C-alpha cells in the first residue's frame, strides 16, 4: 500500500543522517511555541526590487544596502545615522530603528510613522509629509502612484488627500458597512476598497447586514460582562447584501454598479480595466454553482455585458481578480477550475477565449505577473502536489519553463524587467534560503544561505510517502519517528489532522510542513502521522469536491487508510492511537473519536465544528448546501448524533470570543455528553478567538502535550 517517492527517500536519508550527526539538544515547549528566535529560519529584512531597476535592496543592522543583480556589487544606500540626521534637518523626531522603507527609485522611498506618510529623497535629503490618517483608521488602502489613502472609521469610508480627510459614506446605521471585506473573506476577498489605476476613482464594497442575525460574544473583562455582538449569518439563514460603489474624487459623487440579481448573491474578482473606464466583477449566485463575469461602466454604473459564464453542479469558487496584459490592455488572464484543475485562460474584453495557457493534472496556485512583453510567471504544482515551483510561459508559443532550480516550496520576487528572480524557498532539507536567479532559473548567487536552524537539535526521522485509498486515489502522508527510535520497542502514535478545504499539511517544505510542536511531541516518544485526505487543497477540483454535501465521511475513510497502514508497522502500539486537530481539524478529531471509537484512545480537538447548521453561510453552504436542501447530509455530519459512541479520552478546547467557529459548537457537544452520561474534558481560553496566540500559545501547547502524556 505504501509507495515511497524518490523525493521521500531522499528526505528520509537526509533526515536520518541529520539526526545521527546532530547535537544533544532536544526541543522544549518554549522552542515549539516559537519563543526561541535562535531557531527561526533565515530571514532577509526589507528585501525588495528598487523601482523599475535590476537592483535590489535589503536591510541589515539598521542600514539599507543596494545590490546590482548583474554583478552583485553591494553599496550602502542608507543607514540610521544618515536618516536621523535628515529627519532632524527636516524638523522631525529621530528614530531608534529604521522604519520599513519602500523604494520607488534609487533616490526616493516612502515610509510611515504614527499615521503619517512621508516621502524621502536621498539625493536632496528632504523628508516631506505627503499624507496622514487618524490613529483609529482601519482597512488602510494606500495608492502608491497618487499617495491617496482610503480607510475606514467604524462603518464608514474616508479618503485622505495631502492630509485632508474626506468622508465618502454617511451611514449612521452600524448594519451598513462600507469599505470593508465582505462574504467573511471567502472567494479570495481580502479588501473592501479598489483604487482605479490613476487613483482618481475608488470602488468599494457596501455591505448591508441589517437583517443578519446578531451573534453574542461575551467580554468578561468588565465587572459586569458585556455582550459584543457580531453579525453571523448561519447556513440557510438570511445573509448579507453586497453592492459595489464607485466614488469619483473629482466630482465628489458616488454611483453604484447595476449588479442586477438576487440581493444575497456574491460579488467577487473585482478588477479595474487598465484605462479606468470599466470595472469587472464576478457575480456568483448564493448556491455558488453559477458565475457570470460582468463588465460595467465605471462612470455610470451601467451594465455593459456578460463576458462569459461558468457553471458546476457542485460549486464554482472564484478566488482571483482579472490580470490585464500591459502590452495589450484588451487581454486578461482568468483563473478557472473548469477542466478539473486551476489553470490560466487568456481572454479579451469582449469575452472571447483566446487560448488556454496552462493545462494538465496539476494546479496553478498563484499568478506572478507579466514580463518582457510576452512572458508571464506563475507558481504551480506541476512537478508534484507536494511542491510549489516557479514557472515562466510564453504567450506566443506556450512553452513552459521551470525557473526554480531546487525542489520544494517557493516564493518569487521578480524584477520589473523580468530578467532576475529573487527565489525564497524551503524544502525537506532546507529551512529557508534566498537565491538570485536569472529568468531561465540559473542560480547567480545565494543572497542568504540556509542557516540549518535546528542543527544542534535531535530530531526524529521524517518520511514523506503516499498511500492508496481503496479506489486508487493517492493520499500523501508524513510520518515523524520518535527521537532515539528503537525498532524493538512499541510506541504510541498521534495523528495530526486538518482535512478540510484550502489547507495542505504534507508538503515538500521545512520539516515536511510539520512545524516545531509536532517535532516536540516526537521528542517525547510519539510517532506523529499526518495524511491529507480528500477535501484538502492543491489536488484539483474533484479531490476537493469529494466532500460535497457530506462533510466528515470520505475524510474519515481516508484517515483510516493511514491508520490501517500504521497498524502494519511492528513498532506501533495499536492500542495507543491519539488524534489532534484544530478548526476543521477539530471537526475531524471529534469525528474520528466518535465514529472510530474502537481505534482512537485519546483526542484533542480545538475550535471544532460540531454541527454545520451552526456554521456561516459562505463556507458552509459551499460544501454542505443549506440545512433545508440537505437535511440528511447535515444530520449525518452532526457530531451531536454520535456522542453516545464516545469511549476514549476527549479534550475539547475553544476560545470564548471565537467569531469563526462560535463557542456554541463545543458547548453543545459538552451538553450532549453530560446528558448522555459520557465523561470528557473541556478547556476554554477566555478572550481568544479562533486560535490561541501570543504567550498563551505556550499554555495551549503545554495543555495538549500533558493531555497526551497522561492519557496516551
Beta pairing, strands 156-161 & 164-167: antiparallel
Is residue 653 located within the same domain as residue 523? yes
Residue 10 pLDDT class (50, 70, 90 cuts): very low
Q: Is residue 127 included in any domain, yes or no? A: no
489 and 383 assigned to the same domain: no
User: Is residue 62 one of the residues assigned to a domain?
Assistant: no
Mean pLDDT across 545-549 = 98
Does a structural domain hold residue 608? yes
Q: Is residue 245 part of a domain?
A: no
Backbone phi and psi for residue 387, each to the nearest 5 degrees, phi listed first = -110, 155
Residue where a domain stops, chosen among 399, 424, 452: 452
> Are residues 445 and 462 both part of a single domain?
no
| Count: domains in the chain | 2
Q: What is the mean pLDDT of residues 198-210?
A: 98
Kindly report the CATH number assigned to the domain that includes residue 605: 3.40.50.1820
* Proportion of the chain in helix, strand, coil states, percent, rounded to 5: 20, 35, 45
Partners of residue 378 on adjacent β-strands: 367, 391
For residue range 24-38, what is the model confidence (pLDDT) as tens digits?
899 999 999 988 899
Distance CA 368, CA 410 (A): 12
Residue 207 lies in a domain: no
3-class secondary structure per residue, 175-208 = CEEECCCCHHHCCCCCCCEEECCCCCEEEEEEEE
Which pLDDT does position 5 carry in this prediction? 42
Residue 43: how many other CB atoms lie within 10 Å: 12
Q: How much is the pLDDT for 1?
A: 40
Catalytic positions, please? Answer: 583, 658, 690
Own/partner pairs, 14-21, CB within 8 angstroms, 24+ separation: 14/428, 14/429, 15/428, 15/459, 15/461, 15/462, 15/463, 16/461, 18/455, 18/459, 19/458, 19/459, 19/460, 19/461, 19/483
CA–CA–CA angle 459, 460, 465 (5° rounding): 125
Same domain, 474 and 591: yes
DSSP string, 415-473: -TTSSEEEEEEEETTEEEEEEEEETTS-EEEEEE----TTTTB----EEEEEEE-TT--
Element holding 242 (H helix, E strand) = strand 241-248
d(CA 369, CA 194): 19
Q: What is the mean pLDDT of residues 581-600?
A: 98
Structural domain of residue 443, as residue ranges? 324-452
Examine residue 312 and state whether it is found in any structural domain, yes or no.
no
Q: Which of 543, 567, 409 is nearest to 495 (CA)?
A: 567
Task: Say yes or no: 374 and 461 in one domain.
Answer: no
d(CA 693, CA 606): 13
Number of neighbouring beta carbons within 10 Å of residue 312: 15
Q: What is the chain's mean pLDDT, rounded?
A: 95
Element (H, E) at 704: helix 696-711
Do 512 and 545 sit in the same domain of this protein? yes
pLDDT of residue 23: 60
Q: Cell for 543?
A: 479531490
Q: pLDDT tens, 286-309?
A: 999 999 999 999 999 999 999 999
Pick from 427, 452, 477: which residue ends a domain? 452
Give yes or no: residues 608 and 475 share one domain: yes
Same domain, 410 and 461: no
The pLDDT tens digits of the residues spanning 620-651 come to 999 999 999 999 999 999 999 999 999 999 99
| 389-394/400-402 β-pairing | antiparallel
pLDDT at 14 over 90: no
Q: Element (H or E) spanning 477, and its range?
A: strand 474-480
Give yes or no: residues 445 and 480 share one domain.
Answer: no
* pLDDT average, residue stretch 370-399: 96
Q: Domain of 401: which CATH number? A: 2.120.10.30
**Which cell is 635 given?**
444530520
Residue 174: partners with Cβ closer than 8 Å, 6 or more residues away: 154, 155
Question: pLDDT, tens digit, for every residue of 52-76?
Answer: 999 999 999 999 999 999 999 999 9
Contact between residue 69 and residue 419 where contact means Cβ atoms under 8 Å apart: yes
Examine the pLDDT at 18 and tell me if it is beyond 90.
Answer: no
Coil/strand/helix, residue 170: coil
Helix (H, G, I), strand (E, B) or coil at 437: strand
List of residues 6+ apart from 252 with CB closer than 8 A: none
Q: Reply yes or no on whether the pLDDT at 13 is more than 80.
A: no
Whether 494 and 507 share a structural domain: yes
CA 391/CA 382 separation, integer angstroms: 9
> Over the stretch 244-280, which tens digit does the pLDDT of each residue have?
999 999 999 999 999 999 999 999 999 999 999 999 9
Q: How far is CA 117 from the centre of its chain?
A: 28
Mean pLDDT calculated for residue range 359-380: 97
Which residues lie across from 602 on neighbouring strands? 578, 649
β-strands 491-496, 527-531: how paired? parallel
Same-domain status, 681 and 565: yes
Q: Are residues 437 and 499 in the same domain?
A: no
Q: Could you tell me if residue 695 is inside a domain?
A: yes
Q: How far apart are CA 272 and CA 281, in angstroms?
A: 9
CA atoms within 13 Å, Cβ hemisphere of 586:
24
Say yes or no to pLDDT of 217 above 70: yes
What string of DSSP letters covers 564-575? HHHTTSTTEEEE
Instruction: Provide Rg for the chain, Cα atoms.
Output: 27
HEC letters along 442-453: CEEEEEECCCCC
Select from 403, 427, 452 the last residue of a domain.
452
* Backbone φ and ψ of 558, nearest 5°: -65, -40
- Alpha carbon 48 to its chain centroid, in Å, reads 22
For residue 403, being part of any structural domain is answered with: yes
| Whether residue 4 has pLDDT greater than 80 | no
Amino acid at each position: 500500500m505504501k509507495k515511497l517517492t524518490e523525493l521521500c527517500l531522499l528526505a528520509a536519508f537526509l533526515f536520518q543522517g541529520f539526526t545521527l550527526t546532530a547535537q544533544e539538544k532536544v526541543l522544549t515547549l518554549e522552542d515549539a511555541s516559537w519563543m526561541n528566535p535562535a531557531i527561526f529560519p533565515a530571514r532577509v529584512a526589507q528585501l525588495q526590487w528598487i523601482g523599475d531597476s535590476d537592483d535590489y535592496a535589503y536591510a541589515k543592522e539598521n542600514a539599507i544596502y543596494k545590490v546590482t543583480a548583474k554583478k552583485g556589487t553591494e553599496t550602502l544606500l542608507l543607514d540610521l545615522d544618515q536618516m536621523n540626521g535628515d529627519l532632524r534637518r527636516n524638523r522631525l523626531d529621530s528614530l531608534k530603528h529604521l522604519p520599513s522603507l519602500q523604494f520607488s527609485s534609487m533616490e526616493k522611498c516612502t515610509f510611515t510613522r504614527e499615521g503619517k506618510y512621508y516621502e524621502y529623497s536621498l539625493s536632496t535629503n528632504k523628508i516631506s509629509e505627503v499624507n496622514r490618517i487618524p490613529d483609529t483608521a482601519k482597512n488602510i488602502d494606500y495608492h502608491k502612484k497618487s499617495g491617496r489613502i482610503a480607510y475606514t472609521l467604524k462603518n464608514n469610508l474616508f479618503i485622505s488627500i495631502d492630509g485632508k480627510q474626506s468622508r465618502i459614506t454617511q451611514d449612521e446605521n452600524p448594519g451598513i458597512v462600507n469599505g470593508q471585506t465582505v462574504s467573511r473573506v471567502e472567494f479570495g476577498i481580502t479588501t473592501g476598497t479598489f483604487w482605479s489605476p490613476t487613483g482618481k476613482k475608488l470602488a468599494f464594497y457596501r455591505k448591508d447586514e441589517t437583517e443578519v442575525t446578531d451573534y453574542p460574544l461575551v467580554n468578561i473583562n468588565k465587572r459586569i460582562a458585556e455582550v459584543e455582538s457580531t453579525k453571523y449569518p448561519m447556513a440557510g439563514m438570511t445573509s448579507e447584501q453586497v453592492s459595489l460603489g464607485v466614488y469619483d474624487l473629482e466630482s465628489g459623487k458616488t454611483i453604484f454598479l447595476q449588479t442586477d440579481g438576487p440581493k444575497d448573491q456574491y460579488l467577487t474578482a473585482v478588477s479595474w480595466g487598465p484605462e479606468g473606464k470599466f470595472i469587472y466583477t464576478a457575480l456568483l449566485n448564493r448556491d455558488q454553482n453559477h458565475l457570470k463575469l460582468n463588465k460595467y461602466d465605471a462612470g455610470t454604473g451601467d451594465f455593459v455585458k456578460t463576458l462569459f459564464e461558468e457553471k458546476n453542479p457542485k460549486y464554482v469558487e472564484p478566488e482571483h481578480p482579472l490580470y490585464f496584459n500591459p502590452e495589450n490592455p484588451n487581454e486578461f488572464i482568468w483563473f478557472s477550475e473548469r477542466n478539473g484543475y486551476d489553470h490560466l485562460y487568456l481572454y479579451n474584453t469582449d469575452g472571447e477565449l483566446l487560448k488556454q495557457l496552462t493545462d494538465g493534472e496539476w494546479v496553478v496556485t498563484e499568478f506572478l505577473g507579466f514580463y518582457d512583453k510576452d512572458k508571464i510567471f506563475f507558481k504551480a504544482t506541476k512537478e508534484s502536489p507536494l511542491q510549489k515551483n516557479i514557472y515562466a510561459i510564453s504567450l506566443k508559443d506556450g512553452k513552459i519553463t521551470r525557473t526554480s532550480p531546487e525542489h520544494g516550496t517557493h516564493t518569487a520576487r521578480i524584477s520589473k524587467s523580468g530578467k532576475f528572480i529573487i527565489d525564497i524557498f524551503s524544502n525537506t532539507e532546507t529551512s529557508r534560503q534566498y537565491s538570485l536567479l536569472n529568468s531561465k532559473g540559473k542560480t547567480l548567487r545565494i543572497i542568504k544561505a540556509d542557516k540549518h536552524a535546528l542543527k544542534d537539535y535531535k530530531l526524529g526521522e521524517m518520511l514523506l510517502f503516499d498511500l492508496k485509498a481503496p479506489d486508487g486515489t493517492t493520499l500523501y502522508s508524513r510520518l515523524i519517528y520518535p527521537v532515539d527510535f528503537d525498532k524493538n520497542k512499541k510506541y504510541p502514535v498521534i495523528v495530526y489532522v486538518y482535512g478540510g478545504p484550502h489547507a495542505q499539511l504534507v508538503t515538500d517544505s521545512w520539516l515536511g510542513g510539520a512545524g516545531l510542536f509536532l517535532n516536540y511531541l516526537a521528542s517525547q516518544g510519539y510517532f506523529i502521522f499526518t495524511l491529507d485526505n480528500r477535501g484538502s487543497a492543491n489536488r484539483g477540483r474533484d479531490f476537493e469536491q469529494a466532500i460535497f454535501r457530506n462533510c466528515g465521511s470520505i475524510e474519515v475513510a481516508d484517515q483510516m487508510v493511514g491508520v490501517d497502514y500504521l497498524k502494519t508497522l511492528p513498532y506501533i502500539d495499536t492500542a495507543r492511537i491519539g488524534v489532534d486537530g484544530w478548526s476543521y481539524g477539530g471537526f475531524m478529531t471529534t469525528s474520528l473519536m466518535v465514529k472510530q471509537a474502537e481505534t482512537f484512545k485519546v483526542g484533542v480537538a480545538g475550535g471544532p465544528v460540531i454541527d454545520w447548521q451552526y456554521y456561516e453561510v459562505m463556507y458552509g453552504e459551499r460544501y454542505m448546501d443549506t440545512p433545508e436542501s440537505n437535511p440528511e447530509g447535515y444530520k449525518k455530519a452532526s457530531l451531536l448524533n454520535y456522542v453516545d459512541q464516545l469511549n476514549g479520552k476527549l479534550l475539547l478546547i475553544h476560545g470564548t470570543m471565537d467569531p469563526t467557529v462560535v463557542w456554541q459548537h463545543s458547548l453543545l457537544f459538552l451538553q450532549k455528553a453530560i446528558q448522555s452520561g459520557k465523561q470528557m474534558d473541556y478547556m476554554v481560553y477566555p478572550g481568544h478567538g479562533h486560535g490561541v496566540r501570543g504567550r498563551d500559545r505556550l499554555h495551549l501547547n503545554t495543555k495538549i502535550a500533558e493531555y497526551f502524556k497522561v492519557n496516551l
